Structure 1
Protein backbone atom coordinates (compact mmCIF):
# COMPACT_ATOMS: atom_id res chain seq x y z
CA UNK A 1 0.00 0.00 0.00
CA UNK A 2 1.38 3.42 -0.96
CA UNK A 3 1.94 6.04 1.69
CA UNK A 4 -0.61 8.86 1.80
CA UNK A 5 0.35 11.87 -0.29
CA UNK A 6 1.83 14.79 1.66
CA UNK A 7 0.95 17.50 -0.90
CA UNK A 8 -0.30 20.53 0.95
CA UNK A 9 0.66 19.04 4.33
CA UNK A 10 4.46 19.10 4.28
CA UNK A 11 6.64 22.12 3.65
CA UNK A 12 10.43 22.15 3.61
CA UNK A 13 10.14 25.83 4.58
CA UNK A 14 8.73 24.67 7.93
CA UNK A 15 11.76 23.88 10.15
CA UNK A 16 9.97 20.98 11.88
CA UNK A 17 9.02 19.41 8.57
CA UNK A 18 12.50 20.06 7.14
CA UNK A 19 14.06 18.11 10.02
CA UNK A 20 11.38 15.41 10.19
CA UNK A 21 11.80 14.82 6.46
CA UNK A 22 15.56 14.40 6.92
CA UNK A 23 16.46 17.66 5.14
CA UNK A 24 14.08 16.60 2.34
CA UNK A 25 15.51 13.11 1.85
CA UNK A 26 12.35 11.49 3.20
CA UNK A 27 10.44 12.78 0.19
CA UNK A 28 12.25 10.25 -2.01
CA UNK A 29 9.63 8.11 -3.79
CA UNK A 30 11.80 5.03 -3.27
CA UNK A 31 13.35 3.87 0.01
CA UNK A 32 12.86 7.06 2.06
CA UNK A 33 14.35 5.39 5.16
CA UNK A 34 17.51 4.54 3.26
CA UNK A 35 17.64 8.07 1.85
CA UNK A 36 17.19 9.48 5.36
CA UNK A 37 20.08 7.36 6.60
CA UNK A 38 22.23 8.58 3.69
CA UNK A 39 21.30 12.16 4.61
CA UNK A 40 22.55 11.46 8.14
CA UNK A 41 26.09 10.70 6.92
CA UNK A 42 27.19 14.33 6.36
CA UNK A 43 25.74 15.27 9.75
CA UNK A 44 27.61 12.35 11.32
CA UNK A 45 30.88 13.43 9.64
CA UNK A 46 30.49 16.93 11.09
CA UNK A 47 29.57 15.74 14.57
CA UNK A 48 32.30 13.07 14.56
CA UNK A 49 34.88 15.86 14.64
CA UNK A 50 33.63 16.96 18.06
CA UNK A 51 35.00 15.65 21.35
CA UNK A 52 33.34 12.39 22.42
CA UNK A 53 31.24 14.06 25.13
CA UNK A 54 29.93 16.58 22.57
CA UNK A 55 29.12 13.79 20.10
CA UNK A 56 27.08 12.08 22.82
CA UNK A 57 25.36 15.36 23.71
CA UNK A 58 24.41 16.08 20.09
CA UNK A 59 23.19 12.50 19.61
CA UNK A 60 21.10 12.67 22.80
CA UNK A 61 19.67 16.02 21.67
CA UNK A 62 18.81 14.62 18.22
CA UNK A 63 17.02 11.71 19.92
CA UNK A 64 15.17 13.69 22.58
CA UNK A 65 14.14 16.59 20.34
CA UNK A 66 13.33 14.02 17.65
CA UNK A 67 10.45 12.72 19.75
CA UNK A 68 8.81 16.14 19.53
CA UNK A 69 9.78 16.70 15.87
CA UNK A 70 8.36 13.34 14.77
CA UNK A 71 5.22 13.71 16.87
CA UNK A 72 4.55 17.18 15.49
CA UNK A 73 5.21 16.12 11.89
CA UNK A 74 2.97 13.06 12.23
CA UNK A 75 0.13 15.25 13.53
CA UNK A 76 0.72 17.82 10.76
CA UNK A 77 0.77 15.09 8.10
CA UNK A 78 -2.22 13.28 9.61
CA UNK A 79 -0.37 9.93 9.51
CA UNK A 80 1.44 8.17 12.35
CA UNK A 81 4.99 7.38 11.24
CA UNK A 82 4.56 8.40 7.61
CA UNK A 83 7.43 6.86 5.58
CA UNK A 84 8.66 10.36 4.72
CA UNK A 85 9.39 11.02 8.41
CA UNK A 86 13.03 9.97 8.60
CA UNK A 87 14.45 11.97 11.53
CA UNK A 88 14.37 8.66 13.41
CA UNK A 89 16.82 7.24 10.85
CA UNK A 90 19.10 10.24 11.38
CA UNK A 91 19.05 9.59 15.14
CA UNK A 92 19.49 5.85 14.71
CA UNK A 93 22.53 6.29 12.49
CA UNK A 94 24.15 8.68 14.98
CA UNK A 95 23.55 6.08 17.71
CA UNK A 96 25.07 3.39 15.48
CA UNK A 97 28.25 5.41 15.03
CA UNK A 98 28.92 6.23 18.71
CA UNK A 99 32.66 5.76 19.42
CA UNK A 100 33.34 4.14 16.05
CA UNK A 101 36.65 4.98 14.37
CA UNK A 102 36.32 7.60 11.65
CA UNK A 103 36.76 6.09 8.21
CA UNK A 104 34.88 5.20 5.04
CA UNK A 105 34.80 1.47 5.85
CA UNK A 106 33.19 2.12 9.25
CA UNK A 107 30.65 4.57 7.81
CA UNK A 108 29.62 2.03 5.14
CA UNK A 109 29.45 -0.84 7.65
CA UNK A 110 27.51 1.33 10.10
CA UNK A 111 25.09 2.32 7.33
CA UNK A 112 24.56 -1.30 6.25
CA UNK A 113 24.16 -2.60 9.81
CA UNK A 114 21.72 0.13 10.79
CA UNK A 115 19.62 -0.41 7.66
CA UNK A 116 19.67 -4.18 8.32
CA UNK A 117 18.35 -3.85 11.87
CA UNK A 118 15.90 -1.11 10.90
CA UNK A 119 14.42 -3.20 8.08
CA UNK A 120 14.52 -6.67 9.72
CA UNK A 121 13.32 -5.35 13.10
CA UNK A 122 14.29 -8.24 15.40
CA UNK A 123 12.70 -8.40 18.85
CA UNK A 124 12.15 -6.01 20.64
CA UNK A 125 12.36 -3.56 17.73
CA UNK A 126 9.33 -4.98 15.90
CA UNK A 127 7.27 -5.06 19.12
CA UNK A 128 8.15 -1.42 19.87
CA UNK A 129 7.35 -0.41 16.29
CA UNK A 130 3.88 -1.95 16.55
CA UNK A 131 2.93 -1.07 20.13
CA UNK A 132 4.48 2.29 21.01
CA UNK A 133 2.89 5.32 19.37
CA UNK A 134 3.43 9.05 19.05
CA UNK A 135 6.79 10.68 18.57
CA UNK A 136 8.40 8.34 21.09
CA UNK A 137 7.09 5.35 19.15
CA UNK A 138 8.45 6.73 15.89
CA UNK A 139 11.88 7.26 17.43
CA UNK A 140 12.41 4.31 19.81
CA UNK A 141 12.54 1.47 17.29
CA UNK A 142 15.23 3.24 15.25
CA UNK A 143 17.21 4.16 18.36
CA UNK A 144 17.19 0.49 19.44
CA UNK A 145 18.11 -0.56 15.88
CA UNK A 146 21.02 1.87 16.22
CA UNK A 147 22.05 0.25 19.50
CA UNK A 148 21.97 -3.22 17.92
CA UNK A 149 23.96 -1.98 14.92
CA UNK A 150 26.46 -0.24 17.23
CA UNK A 151 27.03 -3.43 19.23
CA UNK A 152 27.72 -5.47 16.08
CA UNK A 153 29.87 -2.69 14.61
CA UNK A 154 31.95 -2.46 17.80
CA UNK A 155 32.42 -6.22 17.76
CA UNK A 156 33.73 -5.96 14.19
CA UNK A 157 36.01 -3.05 15.14
CA UNK A 158 37.34 -5.10 18.07
CA UNK A 159 37.97 -8.17 15.89
CA UNK A 160 39.58 -6.26 13.01
CA UNK A 161 41.69 -3.62 14.74
Structure 2
Protein backbone atom coordinates (compact mmCIF):
# COMPACT_ATOMS: atom_id res chain seq x y z
CA UNK A 1 0.00 0.00 0.00
CA UNK A 2 1.30 3.44 -0.95
CA UNK A 3 2.64 5.51 1.96
CA UNK A 4 0.50 8.55 2.78
CA UNK A 5 1.99 12.01 2.22
CA UNK A 6 2.85 14.05 5.32
CA UNK A 7 -0.31 15.70 6.72
CA UNK A 8 -2.61 13.79 4.34
CA UNK A 9 -5.27 13.11 7.00
CA UNK A 10 -5.30 16.75 8.15
CA UNK A 11 -7.44 17.45 5.10
CA UNK A 12 -11.06 16.70 6.18
CA UNK A 13 -11.85 15.16 2.78
CA UNK A 14 -9.03 12.63 3.12
CA UNK A 15 -9.84 12.00 6.79
CA UNK A 16 -13.43 11.11 5.85
CA UNK A 17 -12.39 9.04 2.81
CA UNK A 18 -10.04 7.12 5.10
CA UNK A 19 -12.96 6.33 7.41
CA UNK A 20 -12.04 8.71 10.24
CA UNK A 21 -8.58 7.17 10.19
CA UNK A 22 -9.74 3.53 10.32
CA UNK A 23 -8.37 2.96 6.81
CA UNK A 24 -4.84 3.56 8.13
CA UNK A 25 -4.73 0.10 9.70
CA UNK A 26 -1.55 -1.61 8.47
CA UNK A 27 -3.37 -4.88 7.75
CA UNK A 28 -6.96 -5.37 6.50
CA UNK A 29 -7.95 -1.68 6.30
CA UNK A 30 -11.29 -2.64 4.71
CA UNK A 31 -12.14 -4.79 7.71
CA UNK A 32 -11.17 -2.01 10.11
CA UNK A 33 -13.21 0.45 8.04
CA UNK A 34 -16.22 -1.85 8.22
CA UNK A 35 -15.74 -2.18 11.97
CA UNK A 36 -15.86 1.62 12.23
CA UNK A 37 -19.04 1.55 10.12
CA UNK A 38 -20.56 -0.82 12.70
CA UNK A 39 -19.80 1.66 15.48
CA UNK A 40 -21.33 4.49 13.46
CA UNK A 41 -24.36 2.30 12.76
CA UNK A 42 -25.19 2.09 16.47
CA UNK A 43 -27.09 5.43 16.52
CA UNK A 44 -28.18 5.14 12.85
CA UNK A 45 -30.19 1.97 13.52
CA UNK A 46 -32.81 4.04 15.36
CA UNK A 47 -33.61 6.26 12.38
CA UNK A 48 -36.96 5.76 10.65
CA UNK A 49 -36.49 3.72 7.47
CA UNK A 50 -37.15 6.66 5.12
CA UNK A 51 -34.52 8.78 6.89
CA UNK A 52 -32.03 5.90 6.98
CA UNK A 53 -32.45 5.39 3.22
CA UNK A 54 -31.99 9.11 2.65
CA UNK A 55 -28.84 8.99 4.76
CA UNK A 56 -27.48 6.20 2.56
CA UNK A 57 -28.21 8.16 -0.62
CA UNK A 58 -26.45 11.25 0.77
CA UNK A 59 -23.44 9.29 2.05
CA UNK A 60 -23.17 7.50 -1.31
CA UNK A 61 -23.15 10.76 -3.27
CA UNK A 62 -20.72 12.30 -0.79
CA UNK A 63 -18.61 9.13 -0.99
CA UNK A 64 -18.25 9.33 -4.76
CA UNK A 65 -16.73 12.79 -4.35
CA UNK A 66 -14.65 11.96 -1.24
CA UNK A 67 -13.17 8.81 -2.75
CA UNK A 68 -12.45 10.55 -6.05
CA UNK A 69 -10.67 13.44 -4.31
CA UNK A 70 -8.60 11.20 -2.00
CA UNK A 71 -7.73 8.93 -4.91
CA UNK A 72 -6.51 11.88 -6.99
CA UNK A 73 -4.54 13.28 -4.05
CA UNK A 74 -2.72 9.96 -3.74
CA UNK A 75 -2.38 9.29 -7.46
CA UNK A 76 -3.78 5.78 -6.92
CA UNK A 77 -7.20 4.62 -8.19
CA UNK A 78 -8.46 2.68 -5.18
CA UNK A 79 -5.96 2.96 -2.36
CA UNK A 80 -6.67 0.29 0.26
CA UNK A 81 -6.99 2.93 2.97
CA UNK A 82 -9.98 4.58 1.28
CA UNK A 83 -12.79 2.95 3.26
CA UNK A 84 -15.73 5.34 2.99
CA UNK A 85 -17.08 2.83 0.47
CA UNK A 86 -17.03 0.16 3.20
CA UNK A 87 -19.09 2.47 5.42
CA UNK A 88 -21.81 2.84 2.82
CA UNK A 89 -21.68 -0.84 1.81
CA UNK A 90 -22.16 -1.96 5.41
CA UNK A 91 -24.96 0.54 5.99
CA UNK A 92 -26.71 -0.82 2.87
CA UNK A 93 -26.34 -4.33 4.30
CA UNK A 94 -28.13 -3.17 7.45
CA UNK A 95 -31.23 -1.66 5.76
CA UNK A 96 -34.25 -2.80 7.81
CA UNK A 97 -32.09 -5.32 9.68
CA UNK A 98 -33.43 -6.84 12.88
CA UNK A 99 -32.15 -5.21 16.05
CA UNK A 100 -29.29 -6.66 18.05
CA UNK A 101 -25.59 -7.37 18.07
CA UNK A 102 -26.04 -10.78 16.43
CA UNK A 103 -27.54 -9.12 13.35
CA UNK A 104 -24.91 -6.36 13.27
CA UNK A 105 -22.15 -8.97 13.45
CA UNK A 106 -23.86 -11.17 10.84
CA UNK A 107 -24.17 -8.13 8.55
CA UNK A 108 -20.49 -7.38 9.13
CA UNK A 109 -19.44 -10.92 8.18
CA UNK A 110 -21.74 -11.09 5.14
CA UNK A 111 -20.59 -7.72 3.84
CA UNK A 112 -16.91 -8.59 4.27
CA UNK A 113 -17.44 -11.92 2.48
CA UNK A 114 -19.04 -10.27 -0.55
CA UNK A 115 -16.61 -7.33 -0.53
CA UNK A 116 -13.59 -9.66 -0.54
CA UNK A 117 -15.03 -12.42 -2.76
CA UNK A 118 -16.55 -10.02 -5.32
CA UNK A 119 -18.88 -12.43 -7.14
CA UNK A 120 -20.19 -11.45 -10.57
CA UNK A 121 -20.95 -8.68 -11.47
CA UNK A 122 -19.10 -7.01 -8.58
CA UNK A 123 -15.64 -8.06 -9.81
CA UNK A 124 -16.40 -6.80 -13.32
CA UNK A 125 -17.64 -3.45 -12.00
CA UNK A 126 -14.55 -3.15 -9.79
CA UNK A 127 -12.26 -3.62 -12.79
CA UNK A 128 -14.16 -1.56 -15.37
CA UNK A 129 -15.63 1.47 -13.57
CA UNK A 130 -13.15 4.14 -12.52
CA UNK A 131 -13.10 7.29 -10.41
CA UNK A 132 -14.98 7.86 -7.19
CA UNK A 133 -18.07 6.12 -8.58
CA UNK A 134 -15.97 3.07 -9.40
CA UNK A 135 -14.54 2.99 -5.88
CA UNK A 136 -18.04 3.16 -4.39
CA UNK A 137 -20.06 0.95 -6.72
CA UNK A 138 -18.46 -2.43 -5.97
CA UNK A 139 -19.05 -1.95 -2.23
CA UNK A 140 -22.63 -0.86 -2.89
CA UNK A 141 -23.14 -4.07 -4.87
CA UNK A 142 -21.51 -6.15 -2.11
CA UNK A 143 -23.81 -4.40 0.36
CA UNK A 144 -26.86 -5.30 -1.73
CA UNK A 145 -25.80 -8.96 -1.90
CA UNK A 146 -25.20 -8.99 1.87
CA UNK A 147 -28.53 -7.20 2.45
CA UNK A 148 -30.39 -9.88 0.48
CA UNK A 149 -28.68 -12.67 2.44
CA UNK A 150 -29.30 -10.97 5.78
CA UNK A 151 -32.98 -10.44 5.00
CA UNK A 152 -33.39 -14.03 3.78
CA UNK A 153 -31.79 -15.25 6.97
CA UNK A 154 -33.98 -12.99 9.12
CA UNK A 155 -37.18 -14.09 7.36
CA UNK A 156 -36.25 -17.77 7.53
CA UNK A 157 -35.87 -17.73 11.32
Is the pair's TM-score, using the shorter chain for normalization, greater than 0.5? yes
Q: Under TM normalisation by the shorter chain, which class is it?
A: over 0.9
Does 2:90 align with 1:93?
A: yes
Task: State the Cα deviation string for residues 20-48 of structure 1 (Å, max 9, x = none).
Answer: 00010000000000000000012111111
Does 2:9 align with 1:5?
A: no
Match for residue 71 of structure 2? 74
Paired residue total:
157
Does 2:145 align with 1:148?
A: yes
Contact 1:19–1:87 (CA under 8 A) maintained in structure 2: yes
> Using the alignment, how far apart are the partners of 2:81 and 2:8 within structure 1?
10
TM-score relative to the length of structure 2: 0.97
TM-score relative to the length of structure 1: 0.95
> Using the alignment, how far apart are the partners of 2:144 and 2:78 within structure 1?
20
Does 2:16 align with 1:44?
A: no
Does 2:32 align with 1:35?
A: yes
SS in 1 for 2:20: coil
How far did residue 64 of structure 1 move?
A: 1.2
Which structure's residues are more often helix, by fraction?
Answer: 2
